[in-house]
Chain A
Amino acid sequence: MIISVASGKGGTGKTTVATNLALALGEQVELLDCDVEEPNADLFLKPLISRTEKVETPIPLVDGEKCTGCGKCAEICRFNAITVVGKKVLVFPELCHSCGGCMLVCPEGAISETGRELGTISFGHRNGIGFINGRLRVGEAMSPPLIRKVRAAADPNLVTIIDAPPGTSCPVIAAMNGADFILMVTEPTPFGLHDLRLAVEAVRVLNIPCGLVINRADIGDLQVFAYAESERVPILMTIPFDRRIAEIYSRSQVLVEEIPEWRRQFFDLYGRIEAFTKSWRRTKQCAN
């Protein structure tokens, strides 16, 4: 079971929900922090990190001795990451998408590959909860390849909970694609609703079932509830606005430990997700 916790708008409580859900399950679960631009889950989970690895993506390395300056590499590159000036090849590592096209096309075999650092992946655990996070190198523009590496490192035998990045573009898609369920965390405000609509559209493109957690459920207005009903997105949990919760969060503490009745709530949330996913699959089977 892979649950991706996403939000559209940032700051709605995605990391809070992901970490509390993992802690409420307590075992046979792995938390993946795929919000690699601003990874925060470790601040809340406080795992013991056992190892950290550098992650690289391949980029071309040109052998000036063999290169004739024919320009074929620059021609194939769709990202302007390699150009030929005069007879000299220039590589712009930060623009390279690692497609390997230039290496394939070079008639002289002058191109081999070296790496550009994307960031790091760390592995750890806390009391039986597995933890993996990705941390994008500051200055690196492309987060999806690192997100995919974090996901590839997950143990398929455990329940996987993914803390996804905000938004609706390629990084979020990398964190949602292939999940069994998307848990959307939103707040009942015009910004929250607007971004939720976009995020739900993205989920529909991927054809994955999704449900909602409404955080700070009593600020703002009721439109998000009406939207959920009309779009048939089930509301699986609401969290009221409570200054105490905001303060717990500000200190990077977790709800299930500071206010124990929340442990039950998050445990039940998982039960609802499981039940909903099963019935969704069944409906889909019948439809086919």
Chain B
Amino acid sequence: MRELIILSGKGGTGKTSLTAAFASLAENSVLCDADVDAADLHLLMQPQIRQRSDFMGGSKAVINPSLCTGCGTCIDLCRFDGISDRFQVDAIRCEGCGVCVDFCPEKAIDFPVQRCGEWYISDTRFGPMVHARLGIAEENSGKLVSLIRRRSRQLAEESGQDLIITDGPPGIGCPVIASLGGATALVIVTEPTVSGLHDMERVVDLAAHFKVPGMACINKYDLNPEMTEAIEQLAVRRNIAVLGRIPFDPVFTRSMVEGKNIFEYGERTALHVQVEKIWDKIIHSPSMNPLGIVDFKATIR
């Protein structure tokens, strides 16, 4: 089983559009949208939901006013400013640590488990897809990412697919950490801007902790050819295979507006040829060998 995870550090580099394009080129794969906080891949995939499940995250404190004597212990002990001086819990601030629950002398505080979102197993025209929706203002995005990655793996095993393509979240925080552990290889989609380079550097630093083999491609490279070169140099320094450059092309936005990937939209152009070449390099890279032998030579440094 191979799992390819696609990250960008910075948002808006075209990561999801490229993931969708790769999905249409891949054979026999399971798609996983691990950008649970702002999942967009389904907009290009129109998944038919086969199974819908609740995602239960942590618990939150709820004070029962009829039992509360107003002793103030909970307010004193809560380190998250979660309880108002009228003895009401602010659900947004409550971290779910349960300290007030355990220390309330009147046992006046309930601690119900929260439904933090939903996750789905679906069918798409490119194969099965596992995706999720984290509830608004929720925590536990890392937990949800781990859950849907696990389910993608199960699904792939059950249905005999040997490749998972995972659209990862932006940033370097908890959902990204949850999406890196145990991945077969990482593809970074970046853009030639000072911020793109800076953000890529941070994601690369993180990936180096996980000893994942890395590859990178530069989208909209022609916006700033010098930055493109700087990014490629960074890649080489960090032992990341450079997959190629993709020109700025309005086809990305136009196909997105129609809910399609770039191969389903308009005429075939040099852009399509280039993306195919990049996919070819990814899938035939030694790190992605079908036997799942870890390619230690290719890990990010």
Contact of A141 with B by CB under 8 A:
yes
Chain A interfacial positions (CB closer than 8 Å to B) = 7-12, 15, 37-38, 40, 43, 76, 78-79, 97-101, 104-105, 136, 138-143, 165-171, 173, 177, 189-191, 194-195, 198, 201-202, 205-206, 219-221, 243, 246-247, 249-252
Verify A169–B138 contact, CB threshold 8 A.
yes
Verify A138–B142 contact, CB threshold 8 A.
no
| CB<8 Å pairs between A and B, sample of 12 | A10-B11, A10-B12, A12-B12, A40-B199, A43-B194, A100-B77, A140-B173, A141-B173, A169-B141, A173-B92, A190-B256, A249-B193
Report the bound CA distance from A79 to B96 in whole Å.
9
- Given A9-B11, A40-B195, list of 13 further CB < 8 A pairs? A11-B13, A37-B172, A37-B173, A76-B102, A97-B95, A101-B102, A168-B136, A168-B137, A198-B38, A198-B136, A205-B137, A246-B248, A251-B194
Verify A166–B171 contact, CB threshold 8 A.
yes
Report the bound CA distance from A171 to B11 in whole Å.
15
**Nearest chain A residue, comparing its CB with the CB of B200:** A38
Q: Which residues of A contact B164 (CB under 8 A)?
A: none
| Nearest CB in chain A: distance from B115 CB, A | 15
**Nearest chain A residue, comparing its CB with the CB of B77:** A104
Complex interface: stretch among B121-129, B151-159, B202-210, B239-247? B202-210
Contact of B198 with A by CB under 8 A:
yes
| Nearest CB in chain A: distance from B172 CB, A | 5
Q: Which residues of A contact B43 (CB under 8 A)?
A: 190-191, 194
| Nearest CB in chain A: distance from B165 CB, A | 18
Report the bound CA distance from A232 to B142 in whole Å.
33
Report the bound CA distance from A143 to B171 in whole Å.
10
| Nearest CB in chain B: distance from A71 CB, A | 14
Verify B136–A252 contact, CB threshold 8 A.
no
Contact of B250 with A by CB under 8 A:
yes
**Nearest chain A residue, comparing its CB with the CB of B250:** A219
Verify B205–A166 contact, CB threshold 8 A.
no
A104 touching B136 in the complex, CB below 8 Å, given contacts A10-B10, A136-B173:
no
Contact of B224 with A by CB under 8 A:
yes
A38 touching B174 in the complex, CB below 8 Å, given contacts A99-B79, A198-B136:
no
Q: Which of A12, A15, A40, A139 contacts B206 (CB 8 A)?
A: A139
- Scoring B95, B102, B136 by chain A CB atoms within 10 A of each residue's CB, the highest score goes to B136
Chain B interfacial positions (CB closer than 8 Å to A) = 9-13, 16, 37-38, 40, 43, 58-59, 77, 79-80, 92-93, 95-99, 102-103, 134, 136-139, 141-142, 169-174, 176-177, 191-195, 198-199, 202, 205-206, 209, 220, 223-224, 227, 248, 250, 253, 256-257, 259
Verify B257–A221 contact, CB threshold 8 A.
yes
A76 touching B137 in the complex, CB below 8 Å, given contacts A136-B172, A166-B38:
no
Q: Which residues of B contact A37 (CB under 8 A)?
A: 170-173, 176, 202
Verify B227–A250 contact, CB threshold 8 A.
yes
Verify B194–A220 contact, CB threshold 8 A.
no
Verify B40–A194 contact, CB threshold 8 A.
yes
| Nearest CB in chain A: distance from B60 CB, A | 11
| Nearest CB in chain B: distance from A251 CB, A | 7
A105 touching B102 in the complex, CB below 8 Å, given contacts A250-B193, A252-B193:
yes
Q: Which residues of A contact B10 (CB under 8 A)?
A: 10-11, 38, 40
A169 touching B139 in the complex, CB below 8 Å, given contacts A11-B13, A249-B193, A251-B224:
yes
- Scoring B193, B202, B250 by chain A CB atoms within 10 A of each residue's CB, the highest score goes to B193
Report the bound CA distance from A250 to B229 in whole Å.
13
A195 touching B141 in the complex, CB below 8 Å, given contacts A38-B9, A142-B174:
no
Report the bound CA distance from A189 to B16 in whole Å.
13
| Nearest CB in chain A: distance from B244 CB, A | 19
- Scoring B37, B40, B198, B209 by chain A CB atoms within 10 A of each residue's CB, the highest score goes to B37
| Nearest CB in chain B: distance from A218 CB, A | 11
| Nearest CB in chain A: distance from B229 CB, A | 13
A205 touching B256 in the complex, CB below 8 Å, given contacts A11-B12, A166-B38:
no
Verify B138–A250 contact, CB threshold 8 A.
no
Verify B194–A252 contact, CB threshold 8 A.
yes
Verify B209–A139 contact, CB threshold 8 A.
yes
Report the bound CA distance from A220 to B9 in whole Å.
24
Q: Which residues of A contact B177 (CB under 8 A)?
A: 139, 141
Q: Which residues of A contact B253 (CB under 8 A)?
A: 189, 219-220
Q: Which of A98, A195, A247, A251 contacts B38 (CB 8 A)?
A: A195
Closest 3 CB pairs of A and B: A11-B12, A10-B11, A99-B97
**Nearest chain B residue, comparing its CB with the CB of A14:** B11
Verify A250–B224 contact, CB threshold 8 A.
yes
Q: Which residues of A contact B40 (CB under 8 A)?
A: 9, 190-191, 194-195
| Nearest CB in chain B: distance from A83 CB, A | 16
Report the bound CA distance from A221 to B259 in whole Å.
12
